[in-house]
Amino acid sequence: MVPTTRVIGNRPLPDSNQRVGCLCTIEFVADNSEAWTQRPDDVEVEEIADIIERVAAGAIS
């Protein structure tokens, strides 16, 4: 997602770029009439964190 990769990759904020990038993704999904669902276990949270960290490292875009 472009908003996520731009916020994370360009690091426009002094801190919390990864958190803001993740929130951009959640808002993008919500604005496009989709629901963001969260399972009660930590598997999805860990997967999201892994993806955000890989974007930040430049491993994926």
Q: What is the pLDDT of residues 4-50, one digit of tens each?
A: 777 777 777 777 777 888 888 878 878 887 776 665 555 677 787 78
Cα 15 to Cα 21, 29, 47, 50, distances in angstroms:
12, 24, 22, 18
Closest CA relative to residue 12, chosen from 1, 2, 25, 21 = 21
Q: Is the distance from CB of 7 to CB of 56 less than 8 angstroms? A: no
Burial 12-49 (b: 16+ CB within 10 A, else e): eeeeebbebbbebbeeeeeeeeeeeeeeeeeeeeeeee
Domains held by the chain: number: 1
Q: Per-residue pLDDT for 1 more than 80? A: no
Q: Could you identify the residue written with the tokens 């989709």?
A: 34
Domain housing 25: 2-57
